[in-house]
Structure 1
Amino acid sequence: MYHEYAKYFDKIFPAKDQIVAFLEKHLDGKRILDVGCGSGEYTIALHDKGYSVTGIDLDTEMIAYAKKKASAIYFKVENMLDMDDEIYDSLYCIGNTLVHLPTKKDIQTFLNSCYKKIEDGNIVLQIINYDRILEEHITSLPTIENEEVTFVRNYSHKEDKIVFSTILKTKDKSYENAVELIPLCKDELVEMLKEAGFKTINSYKGFSDAPYEKDSYALVIVASK
């Protein structure tokens, strides 16, 4: 899906200290699963903090790149809809990964699996706030630009999906990509988590303890049994 972006991913989305601190605060235990780990930026950051972290992603190029960066960490190609039976203390799925699943039924299946996959810890989920996207008819996200890359992100609305179109410009090349996303709203995600069995569900406006608001840029959820 994003395999052409693998070697540039860290330039587009470098690990942020605020996100690492939030994960440390809200993930119980030391055995952690990173679902949709991409190039492994947060997997590596938590490993460096003393956690035993496994990173999974469906993209073979991303996993290959992650392994090259940190051979001591267990990274593997795995479908989040078909995870193995290994149990963890907590898990997280960030970077808008969740809404890349094909259907809402698949999202429910994944959340059901998350409930079974953790002992007594938490799960941390982060997606774009689609309440805001739909309400305000937003058609683009802020362009990410630095010395190495320019990353342009556009949304177009298509029936019950959103087409996420991107252009990655490097010093000597340009890549284009488009994927369909499910614009999952906050209340529906909370209901899905309840359906999966989670009892305590807290919603935040980002990777801070500020509560979620309808006009928040992101939706971050911490759920526990």
Structure 2
Amino acid sequence: MSYQQFAYLYDELMKDAPYKEWVQFVKDRCAKFNVSGTRLLDLACGTGELSVRLAQDGFSVTGVDLSEDMLAVAQAKAEDVGIRIPFFQQNMAHLEGQAEFDVISILCDSLNYLQTEEDVKATFLNVFQHLTDEGIFIFDVHSIYKIDHLFINQTYASSEEVVSFIWNSFAGETPNSVEHELSFFVLDEGTGKYERYDELHFQRTYSIKQYSNWLMEAGFDLLEVSADFESSEPHSQSERIFFVVRKNKKAI
């Protein structure tokens, strides 16, 4: 399957994703930590679903993603609702040339698609350089528990009239990583037959302590570490870990 085909299928496959909760999480943390500005950089924005929703809630959004085809979908989506959002094709581990932002987000476990520790650390440094002194950085990742117990050696499937899929997950080559093998069956309305497309996706995560150490090395102060859209601290079976950080005054 080409990235263009996958980009257009992505929204159908993610239609039940908790987008409202992500938007509300960002708004709540901006209020909680007294962020006065509205300039927001949505890294790994994909097809722009969160970018558009955040813009509709008053943020001045810029979107960045690695996939040109994902960005084409995002741009069309923004235009369809009459919102102007600048989108840029860049790797978040090699981010450059952007302005400073009051909020930078990497949501929907997108950070887990970075394959090396070096790329994660480089991303944190890039975010630091593009964040205002009083701004905040918000991101979420899969927990080790979710990778090791809810993904690896599991099969998920969905049968719909237009798009169906089978999703098999296997242990990756590195610790706490997973390879997702996805087979899509897409109805060709012209022929009435289904076409099959295959995708392979890789995700890798780390411990809360490791993320925290890398963030502090990059110059951030931890404001909040929580789980599963709640304000409570993560526990042994938390699935999605949220980090909210701000620049350390001594590092500026």
Q: CA deviation at 1:150?
A: 3.4
Amino acid at match of 1:195: E
Aligned residues: 225
Do the aligned partners of 2:144 and 2:205 also contact (CA within 8 Å) in 1? yes
Match of 1:114 among 127, 132, 151: 127
Name stretches of at least 5 consecutive residues in structure 2 with no aligned partner. Answer: 188-193, 248-252
Alpha-carbon distance in 1 for matches of 2:111, 2:161 = 30
Matched, 1:17 2:20: yes
Amino acid at match of 1:158: G
Root mean square deviation, CA, Å: 2.3
SS of 1:156's equivalent? strand
Q: CA deviation at 1:58?
A: 0.5
Q: TM-score, normalised by structure 2?
A: 0.80
Amino acid at match of 1:42: L
Once the two structures are superposed, residues 143-178 of structure 1 have per-residue CA deviations (whole angstroms, 9 ceiling, x without a partner) of 466665334433211331422222233333332111
Do the aligned partners of 1:57 and 1:76 also contact (CA within 8 Å) in 2? yes
Q: CA deviation at 1:212?
A: 1.5
SS of 1:23's equivalent? helix
Q: Which has the higher contact order (CA 8 A, sep 6+)?
A: 1
Do the aligned partners of 1:11 and 1:148 also contact (CA within 8 Å) in 2? no
Name stretches of at least 5 consecutive residues in structure 1 with no aligned partner. Answer: none
Once the two structures are superposed, residues 45-99 of structure 1 have per-residue CA deviations (whole angstroms, 9 ceiling, x without a partner) of 0111111000110101100111111132111211112212311111100122112
Matched, 1:26 2:29: yes
Match of residue 42 from structure 1: 50
Matched, 1:88 2:101: yes
Match of 1:219 among 241, 245, 249: 241
Q: TM-score, normalised by structure 1?
A: 0.89
Once the two structures are superposed, residues 86-132 of structure 1 have per-residue CA deviations (whole angstroms, 9 ceiling, x without a partner) of 11111100122112123101110111111121112111111211244
Higher-Rg member (1/2): 2
Amino acid at match of 2:179: V
